[in-house]
């Protein structure tokens, strides 16, 4: 049953990623590929919160797996971030590629740390 719940959550996460990316693409006028960054930051924050709640005993391990592996696994996408960086590089935009890579690591990492802190505070 856990596998089925995780699979369904993953599908829902993938649809949420698609909808979110399209919404960001419609309003983004910067030319920078913001959709994947926003999605990965949101996913990192939410996974941090779920993990913080799990660590504080406020969320079951099963629920954390369905949310983390399922929904957020379907929602976030490291592979797309890598392909986008390569698009910048192959287009001769080395600085944009570097900024993209740094942003894809540093900002979601900060969001995950914030999420862990939020989860722990909420659970306390």
Alpha helices of the chain — where are they, by DSSP H?
2-27, 34-55, 61-65, 73-75, 78-90, 94-123
> Would 24 be classed as within a structural domain?
no
Q: Give me the sign of the Cα torsion angle 96, 99, 103, 105.
A: positive
Task: Say whether pLDDT at 112 is over 90.
Answer: yes
Mean per-residue pLDDT, 34-59: 94
Of residues 67, 50, 51, 48, the one with CA closest to residue 108: 48
Give 32's pLDDT tier (boundaries 50, 70, 90).
confident
* Mean pLDDT score across all residues of the chain: 94
Task: Say whether pLDDT at 67 is over 90.
Answer: yes
Which percentage of the chain shows pLDDT scores above 90? Answer: 88
> Would 77 be classed as within a structural domain?
yes
> Tokens 């089925």 label which residue?
4
The total domain count for the chain is 1
> Would 27 be classed as within a structural domain?
no
Task: Say whether pLDDT at 49 is over 90.
Answer: yes
What is residue 30's DSSP assignment?
S
> Would 10 be classed as within a structural domain?
no
Give 123's pLDDT tier (boundaries 50, 70, 90).
confident
At residue 9, the pLDDT reads 97
What is residue 66's DSSP assignment?
I
pTM for this entry: 0.89
> Would 112 be classed as within a structural domain?
yes
**Dihedrals φ, ψ of 28, to 5°?**
-75, 115
**Angstrom distances, CA of residue 107 to CA of 7, 60, 66, 104, 113:** 28, 27, 24, 6, 10
């Amino acid at each position: 049953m856990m596998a089925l719940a995780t699979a369904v959550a993953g599908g829902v996460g993938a649809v949420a990623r698609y909808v979110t990316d399209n919404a960001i693409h419609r309003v983004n006028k910067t030319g920078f590929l913001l959709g994947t960054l926003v999605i990965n930051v949101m996913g990192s924050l939410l996974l941090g919160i779920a993990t913080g709640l799990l660590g504080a005993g406020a969320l079951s391990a099963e629920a954390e797996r369905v949310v983390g592996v399922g929904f957020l696994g379907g929602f976030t996408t490291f592979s797309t971030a890598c392909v986008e960086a390569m698009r910048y590089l192959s287009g001769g935009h080395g600085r944009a590629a570097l900024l993209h890579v740094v942003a894809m690591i540093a900002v979601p990492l900060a969001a995950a740390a914030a999420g862990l802190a939020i989860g722990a505070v909420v659970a306390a």
